[in-house]
Structure 1
Amino acid sequence: MSTLSAPSAQVAGGQQVTVQVPGSSGNVGPGFDTLGLALGLYDTLVVSTHEAPEAEPVRIDVAGEGADSVPADDTHLVVQVMMKLWEQAGWTSPGIELRAENAIPHGRGLGSSAAAIVSGALAANALLPETARLSDGQVLQLCSDLEGHPDNVAPSLNGGLAISWHAGTGYRTVKVDVLPQVIPVVAIPASALSTDTARALLPHSVSHQSATANSGRTALLVHALTKDPSYLLEGTEDSLHQGYRASAMLPSATLMQGMRAKGFASTISGAGPTVLTLTDGPQQAEAAAAALLEMLESSGTAQDWRVNELKVAGEGAKVEVHQR
């Protein structure tokens, strides 16, 4: 574990690390800022280090989702996270080359920023000598602080269903294995939505009735995901956050409500605007995808959405380090 001392050495050059990180759905149903589900969409990051900063101390190549919109300099989120972790561990940065292949859509509520934070933190930590690395708990804390909450970073780190909380001195999380027959189906719109925009619509306080309702539904959802999926529809009912955010994503809110009226366990993924439907087995997953497409075609907007069947990612981020 790092002693968090003042910077004493530069991270060694001649190293390369590859990190593969799953996407995630936060705020699952009623689990605002506490429940996160790892999804089988993966961003892959390859970081190489050089002995000393060159004329271009940071070189970045991004392909896939967000390639045309993310910065290609040291303001890139992954680079910022790496520098932050090295600073916290007491080390300075070498020259780095970053190559990213992104499959997680940006600004859609599928954990793209959390995946970037996790990939940067794990890459930076793996490039340190083993005795200087941050602990798993410190990595979780750093990632949660940078993201603002743990419900997306925790499942990206560990996989499965993450139940997270603040223990007074920092964030903690536990991984819960999800039944293999639970299949997520997502409807992803072409337009993005800022998490900050969606969060700004939340009230400063809620009633005891709403809080009580969500407490019960959150407990029921954990049971549904791990023991009995027949409770998924009731378990995903929310009284705390989705209604307040609906005005920022009316097409998504309408689609979610329509799916729930048909008996599907649909919810807004994270801060939106993706609609996530949790299904029980391949047959229901196929039916959910068909229902989503039918509703979108009826509204004349099918061309503006992608409907995909995913998997719950049972494992979190994977890290591979080797000398070049």
Structure 2
Amino acid sequence: MQGGGNRGRGRPHGLLGEDTGRLRGAGGEGDPPQLRLHPLGEEVPDGHNRLQGAILKVRVPASTSNLGPGFDCIGLALRLYLTVEISTEGPPSPGCDFVVQGLREAFARVGRRPPLISVRREEAIPEARGLGSSAAARIAGLMAGNLLLGEPFGREELLNIATELEGHPDNAAPALFGGLVVAVRTERGVVFSRLDPPSGLRLALAVPEFSSDTSAARKLLPERVPFADAVYNVGRASILVAALAGGDPSLLREATKDRLHQPYRESSVPGFEEVREAALEAGACGAALSGAGPSVVALCFGEGEEVAEAMVRAWGRFGVRAEPMVLKPDFEGARYV
């Protein structure tokens, strides 16, 4: 497996960000969490298993994926976070929770039975809005399980596991590594490259009141697309990465156009084209569905508040209420806090 940028293996940095309102910071360095943990299977002096009473916290960023033409392979981490506290004391959480799924999967990969855990979530990522909430939750569980097991998995291995659970790496990769990530699945696993997006980039979002199911959104897509549409997207996805890597906002209006998924999903996102156009008219460099939608993301070099408000007003003309957000990219990815 291959990677790039400032990613790390093994134990991630212990980073705790400051709450700055809607624009949440990445925080500063700290020590890894001091847990009452011993090598798996050993007994602590009082005879209790090492997992009893363990408490840890994981923070994982939201992400916006595709950014127009980068279907299933391009994602960007955002300073909007899911923070999860996991304890092996207290009433167990339901197994259907994505956090619990991730933790159980980590234990299953090493052939061990997971402990009963209690999960407390500080949820800032809107669910089913195209902002990577399921990927964030699964990664939180995987990282918690990995730490409880003594960290048998490196970050690249966690990415492969998360991708298997998610079905695609476009949200899991930026959630783990931060920044802008291009990732593809191969027979050897996920191959990816991480880049730092331009420091002046802001992501203006309009998050509507209605939700979208990713599996249902995928059913709207055709099994085959015209060759011309495939060529169209290859070119624009390439220019998108070049524009963000080189900090050239003049390319983004064209680079965020798409023919592979957005035209087919418009029927499930009323007013999408009008909201996108409102963002561009308000000064956005480019705009697209965030993931499978229904949120719309606009790439801005500037504050972005006017763009977000313009998108909200455009949706209002369709009788849709939406929340404006303006976020900075997250550069660190998932971490223990």
Question: Is TM-score (shorter-chain normalized) higher than 0.5?
Answer: yes
- Tell me the CA shift for residue 261 of structure 1: 6.0
| CA distance in structure 2 between the aligned counterparts of 1:257 and 1:168, rounded to whole angstroms | 39
- Tell me the CA shift for residue 253 of structure 1: 3.8
Partner of 2:193: 174
- Contact persistence 1:183–1:279 (CA under 8 A): yes
| CA distance in structure 1 between the aligned counterparts of 2:318 and 2:293, rounded to whole angstroms | 21
Matched, 1:102 2:123: yes
Partner of 2:69: 30
- Tell me the CA shift for residue 143 of structure 1: 0.3
Matched, 1:211 2:230: yes
- Tell me the CA shift for residue 287 of structure 1: 3.5
Q: Kindly tell me: are residues 11 and 87 of structure 1, through their superposed partners in 2, closer, same or farther at Cα, counting changes over 3 Å?
A: farther
- Contact persistence 1:13–1:95 (CA under 8 A): no
Partner of 1:301: 319
Matched, 1:313 2:330: yes
Q: Aligned partner of 1:316: which letter? A: G
- Tell me the CA shift for residue 243 of structure 1: 0.3
- Tell me the CA shift for residue 292 of structure 1: 2.0
- Contact persistence 1:218–1:235 (CA under 8 A): yes
Q: Aligned partner of 1:204: which letter? A: E
Residue aligned with 1:95, SS: coil
Equivalent residue for 2:145, pick from 117, 124, 129: 124
Partner of 2:86: 47
Partner of 1:254: 274
Equivalent residue for 1:235, pick from 243, 246, 255: 255
User: What TM-score, normalized to structure 1?
Assistant: 0.84
Structure 2: gaps spanning 5 or more residues: 1-8, 11-39, 42-48
- Contact persistence 1:252–1:274 (CA under 8 A): no
Partner of 1:69: none
Report sequence identity in percent: 37
Equivalent residue for 1:187, pick from 206, 220, 235: 206
Instruction: Write out per-residue CA displacement over residues 88-120 of structure 1, whole angstroms, 9 at most, x where no aligned residue.
Output: 122222232211110000110001101111111
Q: How many residues align?
A: 291
- Tell me the CA shift for residue 74 of structure 1: 2.2
Greater shift in the superposed pair: 249-258 or 145-154: 249-258
Partner of 2:109: 88
- Tell me the CA shift for residue 76 of structure 1: 1.4
Partner of 1:63: none
| CA distance in structure 1 between the aligned counterparts of 2:227 and 2:166, rounded to whole angstroms | 28
Q: Aligned partner of 1:105: which letter? A: P
| CA distance in structure 2 between the aligned counterparts of 1:95 and 1:11, rounded to whole angstroms | 13
- Tell me the CA shift for residue 27 of structure 1: 1.5
Instruction: Write out per-residue CA displacement over residues 251-304 of structure 1, whole angstroms, 9 at most, x where no aligned residue.
Output: 33431244346663110000000010001222xx2331342244245x1636x1
| CA distance in structure 1 between the aligned counterparts of 2:232 and 2:147, rounded to whole angstroms | 43
RMSD of the alignment, in Å?
2.1
- Contact persistence 2:279–2:308 (CA under 8 A): no
Residue aligned with 2:70, SS: coil
| CA distance in structure 2 between the aligned counterparts of 1:276 and 1:11, rounded to whole angstroms | 44
Residue aligned with 2:202, SS: strand
User: What TM-score, normalized to structure 2?
Assistant: 0.81
- Contact persistence 2:168–2:185 (CA under 8 A): no
